[in-house]
Amino acid sequence: MRLATLKDGTPGGALAVVSDDGTRVLKIGDSLPILLKLMEDWDAGQTTLAEAQNKLASGQGELCKSDAFAAPMPRSWQWLDGSAFSTHGDLMQVAFGLDPIDTDRPLMYQGISDKFFGPTEDVPLPTTEHGIDFEGEFGVIVDHVPMGTSAADAMNHIKLIVQINDWSLRAIAPIEMKTGFGWVQAKPACSMAPFAVTPDELGKGWKDGRVCLDLEIDLNGEKFGAANGAAMDFGFHELVAHAALTRDLVAGTIIGSGTVSNPNYAEVGSSCISEVRAIEMIRDKGPATTPFMSFGDRIRMEGRGIDGSSPFGVIDQKVVQA
Amino acid sequence: MRLATLKDGTPGGALAVVSDDGTRVLKIGDSLPILLKLMEDWDAGQTTLAEAQNKLASGQGELCKSDAFAAPMPRSWQWLDGSAFSTHGDLMQVAFGLDPIDTDRPLMYQGISDKFFGPTEDVPLPTTEHGIDFEGEFGVIVDHVPMGTSAADAMNHIKLIVQINDWSLRAIAPIEMKTGFGWVQAKPACSMAPFAVTPDELGKGWKDGRVCLDLEIDLNGEKFGAANGAAMDFGFHELVAHAALTRDLVAGTIIGSGTVSNPNYAEVGSSCISEVRAIEMIRDKGPATTPFMSFGDRIRMEGRGIDGSSPFGVIDQKVVQA
């Protein structure tokens, strides 16, 4: 099943179901107005969702227009972003000029969750001096996860999978990181691809709590990367259990993978500019040459199945001056 | 004006106004059901609040019972906690065995905001092996703050002041801090004193964006500390502007001061156990002796005006095994 949120002028938008072929969409209505509400009682909502799917199958609904979609979860109570691809972590420490992080635990920070940009919305940021970068990621949305839930049990709480662009400001990131407090200024609101999908929708693309899809990324129409999500050091179920050790996870919590990154980056490319810059620094034993983003630059991201499918739809948006 | 939230079985509770003498409380009702709603349009809510105050003045309302109160903001979209008392920062780096933090910027992390415990609720945590500690703080609640708001303008967005216990797990904190990602496991949900007050309510106790009140803290009925909130290195307006550099702050964002701490700690005491342990380590050139909290331990916190007033009411709660 694929869910989406249609823009309707409210912060939460209107929950909708998308047809199996991804071409048509049907708004649910007052019985289940927003995705956050569904997450609070997933099982109770299934009848309503099944009815909507039946209506879609019988031809009801409207043609999908990319500009009509908000993020499937336009705001939530909690966004916890991991950094589960060690290739990314290793390269970022080079980019930031910091020592390697010595830990065998999952890395995770809490970020802004009151706003996720829709897939085609312009993203306003104050200045290019902050070093504007994208980070292509996958993420999961859970229902209520009790404190102390094991990784095995956490798997059952993963109800939806999403595709995320975690906007990042690289001139500020190492300064904040050095304090040990994590990022506030360096991590403005993220964006989401239009469709949140149930794990079964990915077929063999969902394995061991990992999204085993290539994340195709184009910057200003040029191929930038297509790293695969299978390379996570920890599965999403392990990230969920990590987060739930000392807190209940509120229904609707979104947990991110961190930037998708593969050891064979020379072959598949990267999912953020900063990695490319680190690769240049290592290769050339000198300063990086690839610039960060300018206002007007356009970033496109699309998770792609082996069969060519596009379960999450496309993020395609530009960064603009605030 | 003093606002509170009465428990009513819902996550957001029921917004209420408290009488000037702090003894009676009146529920607002459907016109303004929760505090988060008020923060979204502060000015529009003032007529409703004034009517409730008039009713209270004419004798309506109920007697305050401490167990009836939830946190004034039981959940919000965003909680950003500063660390604006440098005495606290210096002592914590000793406690954690880490190098001093070399920065002239405000320190801030994003924490869990979907749950704030009420002032008398038991706080369940998984194990005392995590090093359970309290942190006495003040905080502010803002309405919508546009990205790039200056510190001077931020002052006008500070609508309410609150008193917070930022529960902290000290065995995990330095491990997470060393990664640079900030705290997830080390920072479970906070608690709030029952009353959120407008700045004018504090009189001379609100100065330069600082809460100039002693924060009286008792642990298991024994005096623990009474540090004053005036010693912040940055005022709350500066913390708000810091947070808003690259993001709009959603209405209802709560910003914390960090643990209230004074350079003359030998005289006034501390607002968390970890500071006391650091002071012991420095003084005795050896290990700390004061233990962290055990299940059943009770913590009491009350911000106290020069005139003996208690604008926020009292946090008085115990930690229990989850």
pLDDT per position as a tens digit, A137-194: 999 999 999 999 999 999 999 999 999 999 999 999 999 999 999 999 999 999 999 9
Placement of tokens 């999912």 in the chain:
A271
Whether residues B322 and A147 touch (CB distance < 8 A) is answered with yes
Taking chain B, what is the end-to-end CA distance rounded to the nearest angstrom? 36
Whether residues B185 and A107 touch (CB distance < 8 A) is answered with no
Stretch A30-48: mean pLDDT:
96
Tell whether B44 is within 8 A of chain A (Cβ): no
pLDDT at A306 over 90: no
**Residue B231 near residue B263, CB atoms below 8 Å:** yes
Whether residues B175 and A103 touch (CB distance < 8 A) is answered with yes
pLDDT per position as a tens digit, B178-188: 999 999 999 99
Whether residues B115 and A245 touch (CB distance < 8 A) is answered with no
Average pLDDT value over all residues in chain A? 97
What pLDDT is attached to residue A189? 98
pLDDT-derived band at B215 (thresholds 50, 70, 90) equals: very high
pLDDT at B63 over 90: yes
What pLDDT is attached to residue B201? 96
Residue A300's closest CA among A312, A319, A316, A318? A316
Phi, psi of A171 (to 5 degrees): -75, -25
CB < 8 Å to A169, chain B: 246
Tell whether A104 is within 8 A of chain B (Cβ): no
What pLDDT is attached to residue B255? 98
ipTM over 0.95: yes
Helix H or strand E segment including B210: strand B210-211
What pLDDT is attached to residue B306? 83
* DSSP assignment letter at B14: E
Share of chain A above pLDDT 70, in %: 100
Contacts of A82 (CB under 8 A, 6+ apart): A106, A107, A108, A234, A239, A255, A256, A257, A258
pLDDT per position as a tens digit, A70-91: 999 999 999 999 999 999 999 9
Whether residues B108 and A78 touch (CB distance < 8 A) is answered with no
For the entire predicted model, the pTM comes to 0.98
Which amino acid type is present at position B5? T
Share of chain A above pLDDT 90, in %: 95
Taking chain A, what is the end-to-end CA distance rounded to the nearest angstrom? 36
CA distance A3 to A44: 16
pLDDT per position as a tens digit, B109-140: 999 999 999 999 999 999 999 999 999 999 99
CB < 8 Å to B143, chain A: none
Chain A 47-86, residues with CB within 8 Å of chain B CB atoms: 75, 77-78, 80, 83
